[in-house]
């Protein structure tokens, strides 16, 4: 096999023996909303195709819209036909549709919760779900306390009492907009649910490549010994989006890129890359190791924010040859908005393994392409032998891990160009997933049913992440400086390139 070729290798060696899933009723609050239509129902349908739902299961959707079981099934079918990664199959759809039920109700009406409770008792009798409940809050954060209180007052929350039954609650990000609001939301949930019952979902952690990071590190002897400051020069984590804010402008105006992407997605990925080997693969062992990383990141002070934190906002430009509006021209954006659509950070992890190794994080809207990647840059070989010529400095070895859209990894090494002269070049040995991977919500919903919290954020990790970004948010809000602009279709503002150039580095072009 020549090094310039790109072999396709299956990183997934197949699935283990059939998993036994406990009976349960999944109750989706906001069951007629966009998240349910685009993500949850297609994911549940694909789980049904893979025989990854309990044999005794029901999906009960609770929302305010005027629907019944049949009209809700039509709503679900539409969502699956438009958004499922696999085509709808009539026979499988017929079986799946029988699990779907709809209960119309208001989130703030106690009588409607009692109606829901009665309906679920009928479901237990008809479907054998044994009183096991998963409450999925596919709702805005301001409704979380209302729904939790309604469930509690209707006596629909069971504590973990060892009788084999369970109650779980799923909460979508964002968990607050800063540390104070996050703490308040977590307090409200904790008033009714034990931490072991709470699943804080971040869909990014369900991506197959993110899940594979631990396997890559701890199941391969060729990587883990090199995974230290002795061999690694720096790490780049990029999440680039080619689209603008679109219909999400009202949400984005209250969030921005730092809250929306860095506080959750990027810091969680960083914690997996940088964590110490956990004691075991048990959920809390893994989450303890990730928390250690977040608590070891050097806090951002006033001076380091100015030096190591860059923001930007997209102006008009071309994305893949198509004209794109500026952020300020998007529907729903306030005139003169200073919300950032791009963030770049330079982070330091002050522990023994990573002392002196910078971690660069970058995310933005309206960038040249949609791509998410982790790039591990190894230190250069000594300036002798093949690296002796200062005018022909050898490129570093590099490991790139592609999260989306082309999931896989590449090892970049130096090789001789065939021929009589000793000419060297960097080549990539490329690995791709051999088959399409499950949607992240499929992975996460399956784990929720099984009660596996490994891929879900624990309260202390959520609040540790907010502690890191709060000083940056405050500094940017108080700063009179204009937000730097970058043309749509570019890789961000000039300040982002200068952040790297200060140490003779450059962002990788994806």
Model pLDDT for residues 193-223, shown as the tens digit of each residue? 999 999 999 888 888 888 888 989 999 998 8
Whether the bond between 405 and the residue before it is cis, its omega within 30 degrees of 0, is yes
Query: Taking a C-beta distance cutoff of 8 angstroms, is the pair 256, 340 a contact?
Result: yes
Report pLDDT for 437: 74
| C-alpha–C-alpha distance, residues 366 and 492, integer Å | 9
pLDDT for the residue numbered 56: 94
Predicted confidence at residue 160, as pLDDT, reads 67
Q: What residues of the chain score a pLDDT lower than 50?
A: 1-14
CA dihedral 296, 374, 377, 501 (to 10 degrees): -80
Please say whether the beta carbons of 237 and 274 come within 8 A.
Answer: no
Can you tell me the distance from the alpha carbon of 216 to that of 208, in angstroms, rounded to the nearest whole number? 12
Q: Which of 322, 333, 372, 364 is nearest to 485 (CA)?
A: 364
**Among 3.20.20.140, 3.40.50.720, 1.10.1740.10, 3.90.230.10, what is the CATH number of 24-173?**
3.40.50.720
Assign domain 206-501 to a CATH class.
alpha beta
Integer angstrom CA distances of residue 291 from 259, 278, 457: 19, 11, 10
Q: How many CB atoms lie within 10 A of CB 329?
A: 11
d(Cα 510, Cα 507) in Å, to the nearest integer?
A: 9
Active site residues: 265
pLDDT at 299: 96
Closest to 94 measured CA to CA, from 48, 35, 38: 48
pLDDT digit string (tens) for 102-146?
Answer: 999 999 999 999 999 999 999 999 999 999 999 999 998 889 999
- What pLDDT does residue 388 have? 73
465 contact partners, CB below 8 Å, separation of at least 6: 263, 264, 267, 268, 294
Strands (DSSP E) contained in 303-397 are 309-315, 317-319, 322-324, 342-348, 358-364, 371-378
What angle is formed at CA 96 by the lines to CA 92 and CA 98, rounded to 5 degrees? 125
Alpha-carbon span 420 to 402, nearest angstrom: 35
* Predicted local distance difference test score (pLDDT) of residue 18: 76
Enumerate the β-bridge partners of residue 236.
Answer: 360, 375
pLDDT of residue 6: 37
The domain locations on the chain are 24-173, 206-501
């Amino acid at each position: 096999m020549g090094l310039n070729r790109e072999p396709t290798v299956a990183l997934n060696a197949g699935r283990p023996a059939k998993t036994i899933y406990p009976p349960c009723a999944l109750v989706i609050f906001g069951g007629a909303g966009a998240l349910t239509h685009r993500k949850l129902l297609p994911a549940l349908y694909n789980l049904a195709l893979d025989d990854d739902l309990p044999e005794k299961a029901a999906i009960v959707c609770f929302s305010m819209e005027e629907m019944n079981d049949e009209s809700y099934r039509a709503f679900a079918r539409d969502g699956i036909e438009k958004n499922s990664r696999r085509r709808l199959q009539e026979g499988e759809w017929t079986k799946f549709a029988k699990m779907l039920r709809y209960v119309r109700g208001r989130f703030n009406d106690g009588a409607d919760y009692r109606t829901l409770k009665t309906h679920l008792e009928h479901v237990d009798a008809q479907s054998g779900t044994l009183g096991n409940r998963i409450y999925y809050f596919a709702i805005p954060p301001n409704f979380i306390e209302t729904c939790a209180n309604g469930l509690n007052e209707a006596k629909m929350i069971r504590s973990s009492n060892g009788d084999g039954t369970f109650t779980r609650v799923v909460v979508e990000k964002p968990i607050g907009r800063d540390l104070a609001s996050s703490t308040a939301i977590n307090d409200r949930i904790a008033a009714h649910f034990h931490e072991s019952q709470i699943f804080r979902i971040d869909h990014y952690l369900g991506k197959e490549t993110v899940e594979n990071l631990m396997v890559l590190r701890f199941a391969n002897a060729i990587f883990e010994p090199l995974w230290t400051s002795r061999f690694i020069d720096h790490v780049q984590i990029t999440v680039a989006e080619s689209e603008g804010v679109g219909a999400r402008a009202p949400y984005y105006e209250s969030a921005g890129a730092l809250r929306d992407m860095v506080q959750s997605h990027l810091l969680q990925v960083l914690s997996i890359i940088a964590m110490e080997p956990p004691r075991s693969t048990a959920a809390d062992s893994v989450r303890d190791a990730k928390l250690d990383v977040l608590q070891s990141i050097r806090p951002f002070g006033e001076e380091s924010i100015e030096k190591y934190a860059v923001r930007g906002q997209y102006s008009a430009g071309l994305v893949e040859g198509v004209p794109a509006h500026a952020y300020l021209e998007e529907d729903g954006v306030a005139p003169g908005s200073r919300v950032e659509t791009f963030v770049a950070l330079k982070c330091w992890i002050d522990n023994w393994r990573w002392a002196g190794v910078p971690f660069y994080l970058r995310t933005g809207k309206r960038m040249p392409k949609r791509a998410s990647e982790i790039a591990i840059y190894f230190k250069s070989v000594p300036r002798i032998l093949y690296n002796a010529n200062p005018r022909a400095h050898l490129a570093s070895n590099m490991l790139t891990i592609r999260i989306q859209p082309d999931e896989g990894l590449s090892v970049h090494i130096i090789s001789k160009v065939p021929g009589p002269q000793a000419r060297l070049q960097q080549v990539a040995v490329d690995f791709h997933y051999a088959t399409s991977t499950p949607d992240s919500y499929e992975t996460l919903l399956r784990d929720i049913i099984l009660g596996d919290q490994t891929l879900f954020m624990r309260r202390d990790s959520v609040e540790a992440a907010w502690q890191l970004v709060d000083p940056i948010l405050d500094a940017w809000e108080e700063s009179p400086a204009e937000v730097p602009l970058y043309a749509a279709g570019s890789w961000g503002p000039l300040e982002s390139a200068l952040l790297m150039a200060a140490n003779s580095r450059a962002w990788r072009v994806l």
